[in-house]
């Protein structure tokens, strides 16, 4: 199936590893020009080389998405290099603080929302004028099943729920601009160097119990399985999907091993 993504300009935040890198590679293989950003130079450079190895045009910028000026600089680089932005994938996420409410501080909640929700607000706001100039675009926010299947770290799940709501609200607001906004909600995703890989190494018996209890297919998901859904959502084949939340979780039960 031709997704109609040839020569589209795509920006992926958190594109140096895991889901973000897989999305960058999927879009590059579909013919997109790909820009990625992340905080750490070395893994970002490795990811850039992998994307360029597909034959796609690609650029990378070190940026902290909690900084409005750094976000705007990344978007400006896309505009300078290629003339704008067609696709934005807000992939960066994470959590600050401990598990329980009483162990967390206001600052943990603020940092978690900054890294997830406000990052998506900043990048979408910065990219929107360029999308309008190009006649529209597509935004995907990478949320989590933690946004609708509660588990520990309530600050993280609350932020991910807010991302799902944000996408729905922006889908209504930006439809007149020809910009679609959707979320994907991955379950637990396994990749080398990721949190679940570390958990498997450190607590193999507990990990095996988690897989048996929560995963009908007997395994965690892969970054590529999420990336394939994102590539479809940002394509012209998904023109009538707007304001949606798409789980990519293999019917996973709870989003936590604890």
Q: At what angle do helices 106-113 and 154-174 cross, to 10 degrees?
A: 40
For the chain, what's the residue count?
Answer: 258
* Beta carbons of 171 and 122 less than 8 angstroms apart: no
Q: Of 109, 113, 118, 156, which residue is the catalytic one?
A: 156
- Determine whether 130 is an active site residue: no
- Active-site residue numbers? 156
């Amino acid at each position: 199936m031709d997704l109609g993504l040839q020569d589209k300009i795509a920006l992926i935040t958190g594109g140096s590893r895991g889901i973000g890198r897989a999305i960058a590679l999927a879009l590059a293989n579909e013919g997109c020009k790909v820009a990625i950003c992340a905080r750490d130079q070395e893994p970002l450079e490795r990811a850039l080389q992998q994307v360029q190895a597909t034959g796609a045009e690609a650029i990378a910028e070190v940026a902290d998405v909690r900084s409005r000026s750094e976000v705007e600089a990344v978007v400006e680089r896309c505009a300078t290099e290629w003339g704008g932005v067609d696709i934005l994938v807000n992939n960066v996420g994470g959590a600050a603080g401990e598990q329980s409410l009483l162990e967390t501080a206001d600052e943990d909640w603020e940092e978690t929302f900054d890294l997830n929700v406000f990052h998506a607000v900043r990048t979408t706001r910065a990219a929107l004028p360029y999308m309008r100039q190009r006649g529209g675009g597509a935004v995907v926010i990478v949320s989590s099943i933690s946004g609708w299947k509660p588990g520990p770290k309530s600050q993280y799940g609350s932020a991910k729920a807010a991302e799902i709501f944000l996408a729905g609200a922006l889908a209504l607001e930006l439809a007149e601009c020809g910009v679609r906004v959707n979320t994907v909600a991955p379950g637990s995703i396994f990749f080398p160097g990721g949190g679940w890989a570390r958990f498997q190494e450190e607590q193999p018996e507990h990990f095996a119990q988690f897989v048996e209890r929560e995963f009908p297919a007997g395994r965690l998901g892969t970054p590529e399985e999420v990336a394939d859904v994102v590539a479809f959502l940002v394509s012209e084949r998904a023109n009538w999907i707007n304001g949606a939340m798409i789980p990519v979780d293999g019917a996973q039960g709870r989003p936590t091993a604890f």
